[in-house]
């Protein structure tokens, strides 16, 4: 998948089936999208258990909680407020969408989590790569001084050898 002109590899773990927690190393995962079904009040409890396990293993804010099946809003059993409250209690982002109706909303959710993961990395990289104007001015002054000294040393050497 391309996000911000970069190829990104994602690993998806289906939480609808029985999760084999022994086979998942949460320490190696940089971000999480946890999806529950708004038509199944048990699914938000399962989402909360998964998030509790994640937070207990690895302190991270790179979690996006998604309420799915917005197209079945007339069958809703989990209110949007319940989803927001859960996301606020665990300090994560929250969205509701319909996977079956909109690929773009799924893509947007994926882009959100990838950008959340990248943001600290990009800040560190930018801080290291971009010197301040003061630093550049100092470097420029030092180079000019060295060139001037080199010229005067060269002139002195030439006059001594004549």
My answer on whether 116 and 144 are in the same domain is no
My answer on whether 50 and 107 are in the same domain is yes
Both tokens of 88, joined, read: 């606020």
My answer on whether 38 and 80 are in the same domain is yes
Residue 36 near residue 78 (C-beta atoms within 8 A): yes
My answer on whether 120 and 146 are in the same domain is no
My answer on whether 88 and 156 are in the same domain is no
Range of the domain at 138: 131-162
My answer on whether 85 and 160 are in the same domain is no
Total tally of structural domains belonging to the chain? 2
Q: What is the pLDDT of residue 82?
A: 95
Among candidate residues 97, 29, 37, the one with its CA nearest the CA of residue 63:
29
My answer on whether 137 and 159 are in the same domain is yes
My answer on whether 91 and 139 are in the same domain is no
Q: Tell the residue number behind the tokens 């809703």, with chain if given.
A: 76
For the chain (length 162 residues), average pLDDT per consecutive 10? Answer: 65 63 73 89 89 82 88 95 93 89 81 78 47 52 61 54 56
My answer on whether 6 and 75 are in the same domain is yes
Q: What is the pLDDT of residue 9?
A: 59
Q: What is the pLDDT of residue 125?
A: 44
Q: What is the pLDDT of residue 12?
A: 64
Among candidate residues 90, 20, 99, the one with its CA nearest the CA of residue 67:
99
CATH of the domain at 49: 3.40.50.300
My answer on whether 46 and 107 are in the same domain is yes
Q: What is the pLDDT of residue 38?
A: 95
Answering whether pTM is above 0.85, one says no
């Amino acid at each position: 998948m391309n996000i911000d002109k970069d190829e990104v590899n994602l690993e998806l773990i289906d939480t609808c089936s029985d999760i084999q927690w022994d086979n998942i190393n949460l320490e190696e995962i940089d971000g999480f999208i946890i999806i529950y079904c708004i038509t199944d009040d048990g699914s938000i409890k399962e989402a909360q258990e998964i998030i509790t396990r994640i937070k207990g293993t690895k302190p991270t804010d790179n979690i996006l909680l998604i309420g799915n099946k917005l197209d079945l809003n007339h069958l809703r059993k989990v209110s949007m407020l319940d989803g927001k409250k859960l996301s606020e209690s665990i300090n994560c982002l929250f969205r509701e969408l319909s996977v079956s109706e909109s690929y773009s909303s799924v893509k947007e959710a994926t882009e959100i989590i990838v950008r959340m993961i990248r943001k600290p990395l990009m800040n560190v990289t930018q801080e290291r790569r971009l010197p301040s104007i003061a630093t550049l001015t100092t470097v420029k002054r030092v180079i000019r001084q060295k060139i001037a000294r080199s010229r005067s040393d060269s002139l002195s050497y030439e006059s001594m050898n004549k």
